[in-house]
Structure 1
Amino acid sequence: MSILISDEILDSVRRELKGALSSVQIITAYCKEPSFLHLDGYINDGVKEKRLLVRFRMDDILKGSTDFSIIECGIRAGWQVYICFDLHAKTYIIDNKRGLIGSANATNSGLSIGKNRNMEIATLVDIEPKDVEKINKLFDDAILIDSALLRKLKSQINAVGKNGQQEIYSWDASITTMFNPHIDTLFSYELPEDFNLRNGEYFSFLDETYNGDIVKFKELFRWSNAYLWLLAILKENKGCLYFGTLAEKLHNILISDPKPYRRDVKQMLANLLSLIDKLGMEEIVIDRPNYSQRISLRK
């Protein structure tokens, strides 16, 4: 295994795509049409399985990080196109045997195509059967684009600007609720620490400094693994759990070395619920009918 930097990444991706026999899978937070077509051009016609997974947040489209046209472009080129709103990975997988994993998005700057280049780093690794299962799970949890969803996405992106200006944009609930990831594990660093929610405060679990824009901060938090896990675990338990039971479920899913003490897990959960309360997350209701907090999905 060797470390690849900038131009070496593009050379390696091209070489691997040329040698692909049966399948190619590209997983990228950002994706630009010219870069995607450049990569697709290296794949021979005998490769029948081609899958693209892109983050595709509305803000990514409006800021130009990802091209909306990548969906139709990919479908026309014979790809299955998936979207996933919490994606950060950049991975290129060939024949489920080799994978290039690193920081390079499928964009000109990410892959050093043209003049504007980022300094990226990656490595080429062998893909094992257990890795294939993880890769398939990413696609299983994502949303496969069909014609009906494409029309809905187009309608919402075309409506932007007609209802006034705002700091951050997102797809409406008819789209976002289609994304139902299965969070099987959490790390302690994916949960909020004790906080004050004041200007300049850094939230390491989001890698974000709070600047007073609560709308933007809520949107970032909405797609955090901790919040997605909470929504999913409540759905699995008829929409309601009490604090003690929820803390036990959090303890069971946490991966850390060493595993946190139960009292620490309770504090982690308390921090999470406190942030939900301060942000006024619409999906969750927190009350205390007796002595223990009750956490419910809003009906």
Structure 2
Amino acid sequence: MIFLAANLFSDILQKVKKSKTDVTIFSPYVKISVLKELLGFQSSRLKRSIVINLSVQNIVNGSIDLEVLEYCINNNIKVYVNNDLHMKAYIYDMESAHIGSANCTNSGLGTNETPNLELLIYTNELPLHFLYYCNHIIHKSRLLSLDDLKRIYQIINDLEIPNTKIQEVELILKKDEPLKILASELPHTSNVDSIFFYIKNGEIHEDESYILHDIYMFDLQNLNASSLNEFKKKLEFRLFEHPFLKMIFDSFNESINFGMIRRLLEKKCEDDPRPSRIDVNVLINNLINWIESFDSENYEVIQPNHTKILRKK
């Protein structure tokens, strides 16, 4: 279904009100008046998130209201910053979405007297690769904190910002977040081969959702490899460079067994909700299967008794 500028806002608002679990808005530009009308309600059941482009230039030219950031943080709306963002999408319960050209602004959604010429398409058939692409963007974005906001307010007093101050704000937004220990970042696919053949041949697989998770989690969509062996070599490098997995590998001198990895995750895991022990066992087993398939020069998997052991060579 196609929506034009005249009825964009009303239909988005209707879909937001009918959402049961979560609403996520991808919009480079956001205006506080529009956001308040769309997400300005208290709900213990509905998770609300926005992904925005918070370049200093967008702040200076008024495309982003700093009030949006304060409002969201004070009202339990997560704000993710990604300064490469250009897409516009309004996603409801990860099941349906408006996708098109319209920012979350008065001109974009046609709530003022001079609306832009915009277009949104509504669909309730979201392919898995679209959902994983959106999750990938969020994963690569920075979750804005109250401390970040306070520091930005300290620097920006008016729109006449010296270049040195612009650089200070950009540094705040570009700095790395503290490393989060997330079990959900472990491989979801047990067999590396299935990922290679999915990418190479587009083969439909019963584990498609897990394969897509791993493709986007480890940035494999552009991993050029002509053979399975080449793919495994490149994937091995990508896996061992992943910050979370480096934490696991750096935690032992010679070897670490399955139970030790599990206890490490159970102690430091920050997933919300926390995964069950069964889920953690599956994810760790997937990780070990990957490493075992690599024929790595640095690590090997041995099983002297009933448990597998990851050992440095």
Question: Per the shorter chain, which TM-score range?
Answer: 0.5 to 0.7
Q: Which structure shows the bigger proportion of residues in helix conformation?
A: 2
Q: How many residues align?
A: 188
3-state SS of paired residue (1:158) = coil
Structure 1: which amino acid aligns with 2:92? I
73, 94, 110: which one aligns with 2:71: 73
Which residue in the other structure is 1:7 paired with?
A: 6
Conserved? CA contact 1:20–1:47, under 8 Å: no
Q: For structure 1, which runs of at least 5 residues remain unmatched after alignment? A: 187-232, 238-299
Which residue in the other structure is 2:152 paired with?
A: 153
Conserved? CA contact 1:55–1:87, under 8 Å: yes
Which residue in the other structure is 2:113 paired with?
A: 115
Which residue in the other structure is 2:27 paired with?
A: 28
Residues 25-71 of structure 1: CA deviation (Å, up to 9, x unaligned): 01101001001011124x67354311111111111011011101111
Distance 2:146 2:164 in 1: 29
Q: Judging changes above 3 Å, is the alpha-carbon distance between structure 1 residues 165 and 9 closer, same or farther for their aligned structure 2 residues?
A: same
84, 88, 91: which one aligns with 2:89: 91
Distance 1:112 1:170 in 2: 35
- Report how far residue 165 of structure 1 moved: 9.7
Which residue in the other structure is 1:135 paired with?
A: 134
TM-score (norm 1): 0.55
- Report how far residue 127 of structure 1 moved: 2.1
Structure 1: which amino acid aligns with 2:129? K
27, 43, 46: which one aligns with 1:48: 46
- Report how far residue 178 of structure 1 moved: 3.1
75-84 or 169-178, which moves further after superposition? 169-178
Which residue in the other structure is 1:61 paired with?
A: 59
Distance 1:164 1:130 in 2: 40
- Report how far residue 112 of structure 1 moved: 0.3
3-state SS of paired residue (1:25) = strand
Q: Judging changes above 3 Å, is the alpha-carbon distance between structure 1 residues 102 and 170 closer, same or farther for their aligned structure 2 residues?
A: farther
Conserved? CA contact 1:29–1:90, under 8 Å: yes
Distance 2:161 2:9 in 1: 40
Conserved? CA contact 2:21–2:46, under 8 Å: yes
Distance 1:73 1:115 in 2: 25
Q: Judging changes above 3 Å, is the alpha-carbon distance between structure 1 residues 163 and 128 closer, same or farther for their aligned structure 2 residues?
A: closer
Distance 2:167 2:101 in 1: 25
Which residue in the other structure is 1:106 paired with?
A: 104
Residues 189-214 of structure 1: CA deviation (Å, up to 9, x unaligned): xxxxxxxxxxxxxxxxxxxxxxxxxx
Distance 2:91 2:46 in 1: 14
Distance 2:162 2:28 in 1: 28
Q: Judging changes above 3 Å, is the alpha-carbon distance between structure 1 residues 177 and 44 closer, same or farther for their aligned structure 2 residues?
A: closer
Structure 1: which amino acid aligns with 2:71? C
Conserved? CA contact 1:109–1:118, under 8 Å: yes
- Percent identity, aligned pairs only, is 23
RMSD (CA atoms)? 3.3
Structure 2: which amino acid aligns with 1:151? K
Conserved? CA contact 1:25–1:94, under 8 Å: yes
Which residue in the other structure is 2:193 paired with?
A: none
Distance 2:44 2:6 in 1: 27
Larger radius of gyration: 2
Q: Judging changes above 3 Å, is the alpha-carbon distance between structure 1 residues 174 and 70 closer, same or farther for their aligned structure 2 residues?
A: closer
Structure 2: which amino acid aligns with 1:12? D
3-state SS of paired residue (1:139) = helix
